[in-house]
C-alpha cells in the first residue's frame, strides 16, 4: 500500500507540474502583481549541465512573473574549456534580450560559496532571493512570496530549504561571507546556518506555495570527471572541510549549540574562523 501511495504521489506531481507549465502560456508577459513595496534582487547560480533542461525554463518564468526585478545570473565554469566557451556564448545569447538580467560568468569551476558571494556583491538591492537553477515555479508563486512575510526578514528560508532563501547585505556584514574555502558544492549552507546560530540569529522558514525543488541529479560536475561525491550530489572535499572546521555531537555539550539543518550540536574548532573574502564591505 505504501509503495502504491508513493507511485501515485509521484504520478500526481509529475502531471501537476506539467499542467502548471502549460498555464504559463496563458500568463501575460507583464505581471499584474506589483512589487513596489518589495525591492529585492533575485540571484541564480547555474552551469552547463542544466542549461536546456532547467535554467532556460526557469528564466522564462521568472522574467514573466518578476518582470520588474533585477536578476543576477552567476554562471559557473566547467573542466572542458572548449565546451564551456561554447556554452557561455549560448547562455549570453539567450539572456541578451532580458534587460533585467545581469550576468557574471567563469570559464573555470568555482566554489558555490564564491558564486553566492559574488551574486550578493553584484546585486543592486539590499535583499537578495537566492534560488537554485533546478526549480519550477507556478504563476502564483510571486503572490505567495509577497504574502508569506519572508521579504521582511534579513535571512530566511523558503520551505525550510537553502535551495531558495532570502538574505540581506546587513546579514553578510554581521555574519560574514559564505566560506569560500569549501572547494565545491555542499555543506556551505550547514556552515552558514551554524554561524547564524552562534551569532544568535534565528533563521526562520516560511511556507510558500507554487515552487518545486526538482533536485537534479548531477552526473557531470563542473569540477571534473574524477570528482568524488557523497549523497550523489555533493562534493566530498566540502564534507571533509566541514569536518575540519566544526566539531559535532548528537548530545548537548558545553560550548556546543544545536543546529537544525544538521540535527546536531556543533562547535567551531579553534583557528577555523571564516576569513573576510571581500574587505571592501562599503560596496554592499
With residue 169 as reference, give the H or E element that holds it: helix 169-175
Comparing CA positions, the residue from 110, 96, 45 lying closest to residue 74 is 45
Phi, psi of 129 (to 5 degrees): -95, 105
Comparing CA positions, the residue from 30, 9, 48 lying closest to residue 224 is 48
Per-residue pLDDT tens over the stretch 102-127: 999 999 999 999 999 999 999 999 99
First to last CA, the chain: 54
For residue 218, what pLDDT is reported?
A: 75
Phi, psi of 186 (to 5 degrees): 125, 140
d(CA 250, CA 262): 10
Cell numbers 549549540 correspond to: 257
- Banded pLDDT at 222 (limits 50, 70, 90): confident
For residue 113, what pLDDT is reported?
A: 98
Please tell me whether residue 128 adopts helix, strand or coil conformation.
Answer: strand
For residue 144, what pLDDT is reported?
A: 96
In this model, does residue 1 exceed pLDDT 50?
no
For residue 196, what pLDDT is reported?
A: 98
167 burial class (0-12, 13-18, 19+ CB within 10 angstroms)? buried
- Banded pLDDT at 229 (limits 50, 70, 90): confident
Q: Which CATH number fits domain 2-283: 3.90.550.10, 3.30.420.40, 3.90.1170.40, 3.90.1170.50?
A: 3.90.550.10
Mean per-residue pLDDT, 183-195? 96
Per-residue pLDDT tens over the stretch 194-206: 999 999 999 999 9
In this model, does residue 32 exceed pLDDT 70?
no
Amino acid at each position: 500500500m505504501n509503495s502504491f501511495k508513493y507511485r501515485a504521489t509521484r504520478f500526481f506531481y509529475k502531471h501537476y507540474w506539467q499542467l502548471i507549465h502549460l498555464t504559463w502560456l496563458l500568463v501575460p508577459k507583464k505581471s499584474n502583481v506589483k512589487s513596489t513595496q518589495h525591492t529585492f534582487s533575485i540571484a541564480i547560480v547555474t552551469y552547463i549541465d542544466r542549461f536546456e533542461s532547467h535554467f532556460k525554463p526557469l528564466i522564462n518564468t521568472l522574467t514573466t512573473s518578476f518582470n520588474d526585478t533585477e536578476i543576477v545570473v552567476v554562471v559557473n565554469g566547467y573542466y572542458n574549456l572548449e565546451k564551456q566557451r561554447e556554452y557561455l556564448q549560448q547562455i549570453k545569447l539567450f539572456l541578451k534580450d532580458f534587460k533585467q538580467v545581469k550576468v557574471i560568468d567563469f570559464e573555470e569551476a568555482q566554489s558555490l560559496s564564491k558564486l553566492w558571494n559574488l551574486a550578493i556583491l553584484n546585486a543592486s538591492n539590499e535583499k537578495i532571493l537566492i534560488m537554485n537553477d533546478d526549480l519550477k515555479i507556478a504563476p502564483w508563486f510571486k503572490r505567495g512570496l509577497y504574502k508569506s512575510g519572508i521579504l521582511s526578514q534579513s535571512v530566511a528560508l523558503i520551505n525550510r530549504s537553502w535551495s531558495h532563501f532570502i538574505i540581506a547585505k546587513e546579514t553578510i556584514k554581521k555574519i560574514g561571507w559564505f566560506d569560500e574555502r569549501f572547494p565545491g558544492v555542499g555543506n556551505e549552507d550547514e556552515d552558514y546556518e551554524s554561524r547564524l546560530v552562534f551569532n544568535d540569529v534565528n533563521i526562520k522558514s516560511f511556507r510558500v506555495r507554487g515552487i518545486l525543488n526538482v533536485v537534479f541529479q548531477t552526473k557531470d560536475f563542473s569540477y571534473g570527471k574524477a570528482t568524488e561525491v557523497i549523497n550523489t550530489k555533493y562534493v566530498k572535499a566540502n564534507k571533509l572541510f566541514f569536518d575540519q572546521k566544526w566539531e559535532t555531537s548528537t548530545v548537548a555539550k558545553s560550548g556546543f549549540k544545536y543546529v537544525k539543518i544538521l540535527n546536531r550540536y556543533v562547535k567551531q574548532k579553534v583557528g577555523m574562523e571564516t576569513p573576510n573574502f571581500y574587505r571592501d564591505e562599503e560596496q554592499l
